[in-house]
Amino acid sequence: MATTPALDAGERLTPGRPRAAEGLPRHVAVIMDGNGRWARQRGLPRIEGHRRGVATVRRITEHCARLGVEQLTLYCLSSENWRRPAAELDFLMHLLEQYLIEERALLMREKIRITMIGSRTGLPEATLAALDRTAAMCAGNEGMRLCLAVNYGSRAEIAAAARALAEECVAGRLDPAAITEETLAARLDTALMPDPDLVIRTAGEMRLSNFLLWQSSYAELWVTDTCWPDFTEAHLDEAIRSFAGRVRRFGGLADA
C-alpha cells in the first residue's frame, strides 16, 4: 500500500522543496473543462474561453515541471468533440498548432518532452506537422513528459488494443492464455507511461468522460467548480495537498 505524507493546510508548494516532492503525484492528468461556460458567463464567444484556456495550460505546465511532476497529461480534444460546430473545431486546431509552435522555448527551457495520445486521423496536417516538429525538438529533454490527449477516446483505445491482441493470437504469435493486464496495457497509447496518480477535473463535472478509463483505475480524483481558464497554480497546489493526505490502499486495508 502506498501512503503519502500530508502537507499543511494552505501550504504553498515550492519548486525544489524535498518535503513537497515527497507528496507529489508521479503523474497528474487533467480534464480541462469549462472554457465555453467561462466565456458564456462573461458574455464572450466560446472561442475566447479556449484562448484563455491556453494561457492556463502554459502556467500549469510550467508549475508542474518545476515542482518535479514526472508526467502531466491534458485532455485537449475527445473523439466525441467532433460533434461541435466546425468553426469552433477549426479554431481549436489553430490554437493547438499555435501553442505547439509558441511554447517551444518554454519546453526547451524547462527540459519538457512532449507526446500525443489519440488518433491522428482527421487532424489537420499543419497541426500534426507542428506536433511532430516540436516533439522531435524536445525528444532529448530529460524533464517532465507533457502528454496531450487529442482526438482521444479511452473506449476506442481499449478496443484497438483488444484488436491488436486478437490479431496476434490469430497469427499464432500469442497464446490467448498468456494475455494478462500487462499485455493489454502494453498495447494502449500509454504504454511505457505511468498510470495517473491524480486526475483533476475542472468546472465541477463528476465524471471521467471517456478519459484514461483503464489507466485511472486507482487514480485519486479531485474536482473543482473552477472553470479551466480560472484554474491557477494555487488550485493545483490544493489538489496535490489533498492527494498527499490520502492513503492509497489499492484494494488492501489501511492497517495492512
Q: Tell me which residues are annotated as active site.
A: 33, 81
- The continuous run of DSSP H or E covering 78 comes out as strand 71-78
Question: What cell was used for 146?
Answer: 507533457
DSSP-assigned letter for residue 68: T
Q: Among 25, 22, 100, which Cα is nearest to 64's?
A: 25
DSSP-assigned letter for residue 50: H
Contact predicate 147/76, CB 8 Å: no
Strand partners, 29: 73, 199
Residue 202, helix vs strand vs coil: coil
| Position 237, amino acid | D
- The continuous run of DSSP H or E covering 236 comes out as helix 233-244
> What does the alpha-carbon distance between residue 52 and residue 38 come to, in Å, rounded to a whole number?
9
